[in-house]
């Protein structure tokens, strides 16, 4: 499809307190050092909503706010695409555990937090943005799905779109069935054309080539261990700041071929 401009990037994940730290690792300047993800409290939310938001919502909001800040954009009018394999797993567990017991009076807050688009709801309340927003899921292919949604949306609207890909682990017993390594959030602003904000020009095509992997085992483990971290080969291109291509893992029989040309 026609090239897009990549603007701000933000990243929070295990061993990656922020994009600056991740960039240095992905550029090969410093080795990856594993550490639990440190997810900040979302100060953008009003106190009531802040209290009601769990890890998944926090990491999504931090990634989104970080990406906008990185390119100096306000949230107003910026359409959003949220993608996650499982959204708020703590809430899902709490509801299923309660429904299996004798008292099925689940809390109203739990229920509205259980929707897949809960982070999008909190985002729009926090930013007052009434722009369109969608929330998607494709299990391990969720990052690719969100990237395609965001790219097609930026093209259709001829305006910048904020992509937020995030995951947070389920507690047990669901964790044993769907083990996600840690919380991870990535935010990217995609614009329909190059501007002073642009980091790079990005071209995306569907293909069938073998996905790019990392030679460094801990990074490869991270890429495979969290669906949102399937973005890392693309961010590796951004970090190296040179023209290059990466094949992003997507769904059975399809990959996403990304070509990045830095804007000097």
When the beta carbons of 105 and 196 are compared against another protein, the nearer one is 105
CA distance 24 to 163: 22
Token pair listed for 28: 């090969």
CA distance 236 to 184: 16
Positive or negative torsion for Cα 187, 193, 195, 198: positive
CA distance 237 to 235: 5
When the beta carbons of 21 and 189 are compared against another protein, the nearer one is 189
When the beta carbons of 69 and 96 are compared against another protein, the nearer one is 96
156 binds another protein (CB under 8 A): yes
Q: Using alpha carbons, list the distances in angstroms from residue 180 to 62, 73, 82.
A: 19, 32, 18
When the beta carbons of 92 and 183 are compared against another protein, the nearer one is 92
Q: How far is the CB of 206 from another protein (least distance, A)?
A: 6
86 and 92 Cβ atoms separated by less than 8 Å: yes
User: Within 13 Å and on the Cβ side, how many CA atoms surround 129?
Assistant: 24
77 binds another protein (CB under 8 A): no
177 binds another protein (CB under 8 A): yes
Show the site string, 100-139: x = touches another protein by CB under 8 A, - = not: x---xxxxx--xxxxxxxx-xxx-xx-xxxxxxxxxxxxx
Q: How far is the CB of 215 from another protein (least distance, A)?
A: 28
State the residue for tokens 């949306």. Answer: 153
Among 35, 41, 69, 96, indicate the residue that binds another protein (CB under 8 A): 96
Token pair listed for 127: 């930013």
State the residue for tokens 């359409």. Answer: 79
Q: Taking contact as CB under 8 A, which single stretch among the options 17-25, 35-43, 59-67, 141-149 is the one that binds another protein? A: 141-149
191 binds another protein (CB under 8 A): no
254 binds another protein (CB under 8 A): yes
Token pair listed for 244: 């290059």
β-bridge mates for residue 203, sequence order: 259
**Residues of the shown chain interacting with another protein in the complex, contacts defined by CB under 8 A:** 1-2, 49, 85-87, 92, 95-97, 99-100, 104-108, 111-118, 120-122, 124-125, 127-139, 141-142, 144-145, 148-149, 151-153, 155-156, 172-174, 176-178, 206, 250-254
């Amino acid at each position: 499809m026609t090239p897009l401009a990549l603007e701000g990037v933000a990243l929070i994940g295990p061993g990656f307190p922020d994009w600056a730290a991740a960039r240095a690792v992905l550029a090969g300047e410093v080795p990856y050092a594993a550490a639990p993800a440190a997810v900040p409290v979302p100060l953008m939310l009003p106190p009531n909503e802040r209290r009601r938001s769990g890890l998944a919502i926090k990491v999504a909001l931090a990634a989104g706010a970080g990406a906008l800040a990185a390119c100096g954009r306000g949230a107003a009018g910026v359409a959003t695409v949220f993608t996650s394999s499982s959204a708020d797993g703590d809430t899902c567990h709490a509801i299923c555990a309660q429904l299996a017991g004798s008292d099925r009076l689940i809390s109203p807050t739990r229920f509205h937090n259980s929707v897949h688009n809960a982070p999008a709801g909190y985002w729009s309340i926090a930013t007052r943005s009434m722009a369109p927003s969608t929330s998607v899921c494709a299990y391990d292919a969720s990052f690719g799905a969100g990237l395609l949604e965001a790219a097609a949306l930026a093209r259709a609207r001829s305006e910048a779109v904020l992509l937020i890909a995030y995951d947070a682990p389920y507690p047990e017993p669901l964790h044993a069935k769907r083990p996600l390594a840690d919380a991870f959030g990535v935010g990217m602003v995609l614009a329909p054309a190059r501007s002073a904000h642009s980091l790079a020009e990005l071209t995306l095509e569907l293909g069938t080539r073998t996905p790019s992997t990392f030679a460094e085992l801990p990074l490869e483990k991270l890429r495979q261990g969290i669906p949102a971290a399937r973005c890392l080969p693309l961010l590796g291109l951004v970090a190296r700041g040179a023209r290059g291509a990466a094949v992003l893992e997507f769904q059975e029989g399809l990959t996403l071929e990304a070509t990045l040309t830095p804007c000097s």
